[in-house]
Structures are given as structure tokens and as C-alpha cells.
Amino acid sequence: MLIPAPDLLPASVRAFVERHGREPSWRASAPGRVNLVGEHTDYLGGLCLPVALGHRTWVVAAPRTDSRVHLTSGDALEWSGDTSHLTGSPLRGWASYVVGALRAVGWQGGLDLHVESSVPVGAGLSSSAALICAVVTAVTERSPDDLLRAALEAEQVHVGAPTGGMDQTVSLLARPAHALLLDFAGGGLPAGRPVPWSPERDGVELLVVDTGVRHANDDGAFARRRAEAEAAMALSPDEVVAARDPLPRRRRHVDSENDRVRRVVAAVERHDWTEVGALFTASHVSLRDDHEVSCVELDAVVEAARTAGALGARMTGGGFGGCAVVLVPTTQRDRVVARVSAAARAAGHPEPSFLPGEAGGPATRHRAAGPSHVDLSQAQRLT
Ligand code: GLA
């Protein structure tokens, strides 16, 4: 019923050998993520609390002796160009993320690279950050901070998506069985603190519900919402009161959401899952009514999950489609899944799918013989 996270390393290597005619030199993978709370706050110097998923993107690659760059992926998408394209022509689609990552690490020379992924694309689970983080981890050996700088530059500068830094940071620095409390105050790389996150031990689990409604962070809606929120955050308290709708609502979302992050962390630390669930739902209401980034399909999932016995639920990620996270007692999980599916069918929405929300590990380089865990979460900045 839940889509399990597969190990795609063997398939990636096999496909590389078939498509490129030799063994790959480098193998890496990086996770997608869900955010527990703290939505549309990272790009405003605020707080967020993401976890890495078990679902990952796998990249295998080898340098070439000529200047060709040849990119392949499991679903047969393909891009081929000369290294000179890395500084020139605008690209769209998944190849733009790979090329953006290669630009950000200053890649010189030719390269064969193959991608496999179990992170659904456009579902708000950071498939783009997972791809970029897997590429920079595969083709360079740098400190975690340098990898993070490159990953941020790839998406924000080279691809031009107006995202904050949450997705890349958790993909590179996650710790298994932990959420990552990120504080973007100060404008540089975020300060991070791992927060133990194992609700399963108390008979509660995080369920990820993919509505099947697709979006892209570079399609304009995200940028408009970001601009409004930035304008709202630049106002003094008096100016906010006098400002015209929607600015006061945007401001109220950001201020209340940062407060909810602090309260969720405190509730997680005392294992108060009822309170965590209530805060999830309050976050959804704020994102729906004040920030206006939800959609009817997400609202329907949250409503159906709650009435079927979930402790709380909310949209996760950028919104305008994508996924919700549901905190549910394990004994109620199957009932919630059935009721959410039934509600979607009754409303004529796409059939939702369900992924496990257990907190996984960070971007990792793998040795040829099998996974070798390079635990980037031991970075100095994480105290
Ligand atoms: C997208 C962005 C993130 C963050 C979320 C909303 O996932 O990539 O940086 O802004 O939306 O919280």
C-alpha cells in the first residue's frame, strides 16, 4: 500500500554500462525530503524542520577524454552537448539541473552521467534538489559546506528557481531518525540542529500523501508568493496594520509559522504527538488561508485524514499541488489511507499515492562493491 524506497544503485550501474559502454567511476545518491513544519519561511530568514526521505535520486558517472557531456536517465530522457554548453545555452527539464550542478562545481571536460530516481517529480518532495545534490556529491569531493554552496548556486543561479535553501541543506546534511531544525537568519548558510524524530517508537507514523497534482517551483506562482511575502516582511508593525490585503495575511503566516516551528520542536522533544498533530493542522490552515499556496486536492487530503483518525495533517513543500504529510497512530494508518483515497475518488481528484515518511540519511557516495556511507551530517556546523 505504501510505495517502498528501492535501492536503485545496481540498476543505475547496469544502465550506465548499457548506455555508455563502460563502468562508472563515481556513484552517489541523495534523498528527497518532506518538511514537517516551517513552510515558506526559509527564503525569509526563518525556521523550518525538514526530514530526508528514504526515496532517493541516484547518479553514476565517469569522466570522458573528449569534451562531450552525455546525460541519460531511466525513463530514456537524454541530453547531449559539448562542455561549452555548460556556460551557454538555456536548458529546460531535468538536464538543466544536472548542467546547473556541473556549472556550480566548475566542471571542466567531458562526462557521461546516468540518473535513476524514486523521488516523484513535481510532487513537492524536492526531486530537483535531490538530483543536484546527487550530482555534486558524485563528481566532486568537497566539504559539506562547499557542496551546499554549489547545490544552492546550481538551483538558484543556474536553473533560476526562486527557492530558499531548505531542500538542498537537508538533502546534504540529514541524519537518519532525525529532523533538521534549520535557521536561515543572517542570510548565509543556515545553522542546523538535528532533532531526534522517531514517532514510530511511540506507535505514531508520518505518512506522505502524493495528490498527483504537479507543480514546478520555477513556473511563476512560487515567485509571486515569495515577492509578496518579502514585501510584507519589509513593513514595520504599523505599516502592516495599514497595508492592503494580502500583505497582512502573508506577514501573519510567516510570523505564526516560525512560532509553530519552535512549538513543534518542543512538542517532539516531549513526545507529545497530539500537540505536534494539532500544530501540523494549524500550519495547513495558515498556508491555505493566509499564504494561499494550497489547492483543493491538498485541502481534501488534510480534511479526510483528520476525520479518519489522523492526529494532524498539512501540505508540505512549496504547495500549489504536490504532497501532504499526515501524522497518524499506526493502528489508524490503513483506515486513513482508505478514507483519503475514497475522498479523492468521490471528489473526482487524481488517485493519491502513499509513501513512508521515515527519516532517512543524507547524500552519500557509494563504493563500487556496495553502499559506503559518507556521513556528511557530521559537519561542524551541526551542533
Ligand atoms: C520549495 C522551496 C523551499 C521552500 C519550500 C516552501 O520546496 O524549494 O526552499 O521555500 O518550497 O517552504
Domains and CATH numbers, the chain: 9-370 (3.30.230.10)
**CA dist 3 → 54, 204, 253, 255, 324 (Å):** 11, 18, 33, 35, 15
Which residues, including other chains, have CB under 8 Å from residue 272's CB and lie 6 or more apart? none
- The three grid cell numbers given for residue 182, joined into one nine-digit string: 534549520
Ligand 1 neighbour 43 (Cβ under 6 A): yes
Ligand 1 neighbour 321 (Cβ under 6 A): no
Ligand 1 neighbour 112 (Cβ under 6 A): no
Pairing label, strands 110-117, 68-73: parallel
Distance 277 CA to ligand 1 centre (A): 21
> What's the CA gap between 59 and 105, in Å, rounded?
16
> What's the CA gap between 206 and 179, in Å, rounded?
12
> What's the CA gap between 371 and 185, in Å, rounded?
35
The pair phi, psi for residue 51, each rounded to 5°, is -125, 145
Q: What single DSSP character describes residue 367?
A: B
Ligand 1 neighbour 127 (Cβ under 6 A): no
Residue 165 three-state SS:
coil
The residue from 42, 112, 167, 183 that is catalytic is 167
Closest-lying ligand 1 atom to the alpha carbon of residue 165: 9
**CA dist 160 → 45, 123, 149, 237, 339 (Å):** 19, 19, 15, 32, 39
> What's the CA gap between 321 and 119, in Å, rounded?
15
Ligand 1 neighbour 144 (Cβ under 6 A): no
| pLDDT attached to residue 76 | 65
Which of residues 87 and 301 earns the better pLDDT score? Answer: 301
Ligand 1 neighbour 361 (Cβ under 6 A): no
- pLDDT bin (cut points 50, 70, 90) of residue 217 is low
Residue 370 pLDDT > 70: no
Distance 81 CA to ligand 1 centre (A): 30
> What's the CA gap between 278 and 221, in Å, rounded?
28
Distance 231 CA to ligand 1 centre (A): 18
Distance 318 CA to ligand 1 centre (A): 5
Torsion on CA atoms 327, 333, 335, 337, rounded to nearest 10:
80
**What average pLDDT score do residues 348-363 get?**
98
Pocket test for ligand 1, best of 163, 226, 250 (most atoms within 8 A of CB): 163
> What's the CA gap between 315 and 62, in Å, rounded?
39
Helices 94-104 & 127-139 angle (0-180, nearest 10): 40
Ligand 1 neighbour 155 (Cβ under 6 A): no
The number of helix segments (H) and strand segments (E) in the chain equals 11, 13
Express each pLDDT in 142-193 by its tens digit. Answer: 999 999 999 999 999 998 888 999 999 999 999 999 999 999 999 899 999 9
> What's the CA gap between 117 and 110, in Å, rounded?
23
Distance 39 CA to ligand 1 centre (A): 7
Express each pLDDT in 236-288 by its tens digit. Answer: 999 999 999 999 999 999 999 999 999 999 999 999 999 999 999 999 999 99
Distance 15 CA to ligand 1 centre (A): 32
Query: In this structure, which residue's CA is closest to atom 1 in ligand 1?
Result: 318
In the residue annotation, 82 being an active-site residue is answered as no
Instruction: Name the residue with cell 545555452.
Output: 89
Distance 165 CA to ligand 1 centre (A): 7
Share of the chain above pLDDT 70, in %: 93
Ligand 1 neighbour 317 (Cβ under 6 A): yes
| Cβ pair 291, 342 in contact under 8 A | no
Which residues, including other chains, have CB under 8 Å from residue 232's CB and lie 6 or more apart? 240, 243, 247, 248, 250, 251, 254
Q: Euclidean distance between the first and final Cα of the chain, in Å?
A: 37
| Cβ pair 98, 60 in contact under 8 A | no
Residue 77 pLDDT > 70: no
Closest-lying ligand 1 atom to the alpha carbon of residue 39: 12
User: What is the pLDDT of the chain when averaged over all its residues?
Assistant: 92
> What's the CA gap between 223 and 225, in Å, rounded?
5
Residue 382 pLDDT > 70: no
Instruction: Name the residue with cell 536548458.
Output: 91
Ligand 1 neighbour 217 (Cβ under 6 A): yes
Closest-lying ligand 1 atom to the alpha carbon of residue 35: 12
Torsion on CA atoms 287, 222, 243, 235, rounded to nearest 10:
100
Among the residue ranges 74-78, 93-97, 186-190, the one predicted with the least confidence is: 74-78
